Amino acid sequence: MQKTLSLRWLEVFQLISKSGSIQKAAAETGLSISTVSNHLRSLENALGVELVDHTRRPMGLTPAGVVFARYVYDGLMTLRRGEAEIRSGSWQHATDLRMALLDDFDNEVGPELFQFLSTALPRCSFRHYTRPSHEIIEKLQAQKLDAGVATRPSGLLPDLIEYPLMRDPFILVVPAGYTGSIEELTKADAPLPFLRYSRDHTIGKQIETQLSRLKIALPNRFELECNQSIIGLVSEGSGWTVTTAASYHRAQRFHEKIKVVRFPGKSFARTVSLFTTSVYPAATSQLIHEALQKSLRLHFTDPISQRFPWLGEEFRTLPAKDA
């Protein structure tokens, strides 16, 4: 008589196949290392075949393991999608939403969004987080979030669904009293230092990539994570920075002491998107996307484009299917 396969065995095998480590699978599940090993052994005994090459570090899959891993991935994904649909059903009946926003949108967009969703999803429990983009993406991929608003990274995200929200162009921000040329700022003996965004963050990486393309090498004297700190230092005359229209808008209390300048040369922009896990119900995702678009247009793209007409179509909201 064939032995029934345990769902827990399959989940453990999937984690081991992804990480190549029983220790990492144990840490992810909260199980002991011996329990994870027993689950894997039980699965292999039930199938009568070795799935993992235990002699390699990190562990590699046997040919049979490679084939079985594809079926396990598809099967577990179908089960999770079914669970999400049963728990949420149509969007009116959604019961849980774990969502993270970039801090650029936490003051205006966040409260408005969750006020709208509390009415539209009367049975839903909300857990709201504020994180940088790279952490939001990581938590989505680990299924520790259902949805997140983040900057689109450079790499592919096969496990996530993307709903583009906004094209957010990069601009220069300098002290209000600065009268020199922009070209002077990019030289080694510049009158003001360059204030960098942390290169651990997506926005910092994008800025560095563009500067490299333009062959602009600037000393690394100041590197900060916080947008408000960077803009605050610019307002005090302590330096200049490259930021985005949305990030500039968020730092409104400094606006009287800073000025915005078009980025020299070829313009570039980040794409801010709503990302969801592939198992989260599409109807709920579309509802969130539509609400976010309205809020971003009201609080960001319309007022900033009116203030700086030269931004034109550079700063705009995007339809969900925009590439």
So what's the pLDDT on residue 21? 86
The neighbouring-strand residues paired with 150 are 273
d(CA 112, CA 108): 7
Map residue 171 onto helix, strand or coil.
Answer: strand
d(CA 71, CA 211): 45
Amino acid at 304: I
| Cα three-residue angle 130-133-137, rounded to 5 degrees | 100
Highest mean pLDDT among 137-151, 272-286, 308-322: 137-151
Confidence of residue 323 (pLDDT cuts 50, 70, 90): very low
Per-residue pLDDT at 174 exceeds 90? yes
Q: Are the CB atoms for 65 and 95 separated by under 8 Å? A: no
d(CA 114, CA 149): 13
Per-residue pLDDT at 249 exceeds 90? yes
pLDDT tens-digit map of 12-21:
888 888 888 8
> Backbone phi, then psi, for 304, in 5-degree steps?
-70, -40
Confidence of residue 291 (pLDDT cuts 50, 70, 90): very high
Instruction: Flag whether the pTM goes above 0.85.
Output: no
Q: What share of the chain is helix, strand, coil (3-state, %, to 5)?
A: 50, 20, 30
Amino acid at 300: F
Q: Are the CB atoms for 16 and 25 separated by under 8 Å? A: yes
Per-residue pLDDT at 309 exceeds 50? yes
pLDDT tens-digit map of 295-308:
999 999 999 999 99
Percentage, residues of the chain above pLDDT 70: 93
d(CA 255, CA 257): 5
Helix (H) or strand (E) segment spanning residue 274:
strand 269-277
The neighbouring-strand residues paired with 60 are 53
Per-residue pLDDT at 259 exceeds 90? yes
Structure tokens at 261: 């300048």
Instruction: Identify the DSSP state of 297.
Output: I
